[in-house]
A and B are shown apart, each in its own frame.
Chain A
Amino acid sequence: DIVMTQTPLSLSVTPGQPASISCKSSQSLLHSDGKTYLYWYLQKPGQPPQLLIYEVSNRFSGVPDRFSGSGSGTDFTLKISRVEAEDVGVYYCMQSIQLPRVTFGGGTKVEIK
């Protein structure tokens, strides 16, 4: 299985400041179809995960444009341009190049200072 490694484990951010989360995969997530199967989710406290970003850099419906994703191959980054109070929770990356065996990163907890 592909191992997904996220850093940092936790992040404390002042509202209005940027935040960045890294995700590294043990194998390239670039498929022969040209797509890269890397996703980002946010799990707010007491809620299920919600899809933020699909295929590295595409924001899912309704996701604010302060969230952006980038990267290629095995190295990926989620950036929040200006953190808001509603952004607290745990962020997960996920790979699905090895469908059906998707795997998740360990999560990065974001809190507000």
Chain B
Amino acid sequence: EVQLVESGGGLIQPGGSLRLSCAASGFTVSSNYMSWVRQAPGKGLEWVSVIYSGGSTYYADSVKGRFTISRDNSKNTLYLQMNSLRAEDTAVYYCARDGQLSIWGQGTMVTVSS
């Protein structure tokens, strides 16, 4: 079964760091275009970052320089390293597969608050 499972969210103080993980099953992360999309409480969807199968990475302006997307091919897992976190980064973070965003994980909640 094709599946994505996120983990790593939690409560973190402003300025802190967190690493999110997205474990994939049923397909190979490194062969796919993989994205992170977030949703602030009660709000809509916002694209955050993507890593292409070739390894190129891109970021939304709101997170550029603070977030880093990566993958571990041996673990078939996608990551999002989040540094210098701000209150406005509070959201559910989803990982999603391919350019159609055809498969989504259940999401992991990140709360940035003192």
Contact = CB atoms under 8 A, between A and B. Distances in A.
Interface string A33-55: 00000010100000111110010
Interface residues of B, number: 18
Contacts of B102: 51, 54, 60
A100 to B, nearest CB: 4
Interface string A89-111: 00010101001111111110000
Interface residues of A, number: 21
A107 B100 CA distance: 17
B50 A94 contact: no
Contact of A51 (B35, B47, B58, B101): B101
Q: Which of A100, A103, A105, A107 lies at the interface centre, i.e. has the most chain B CB atoms within 10 A of its CB?
A: A100
B67 interface: no
B44 interface: yes
Given A48-B94, A48-B107, A103 B101 contact: no
Contacts of B106: 47-48
B44 A100 contact: no
Nearest to B101: A51
Interface string A75-100: 00000000000000000101010011
A100 B94 contact: no
B41 to A, nearest CB: 13
Given A100-B50, A101-B58, A101-B60, A51 B100 contact: yes
B100 A49 contact: no
A47 B101 CA distance: 15
A4 to B, nearest CB: 10
Contacts of B99: 96, 99
Given A48-B107, A92-B45, A101-B58, 10 more contacts: A48-B104, A48-B106, A51-B100, A54-B100, A54-B102, A99-B99, A101-B60, A105-B44, A107-B44, A107-B45
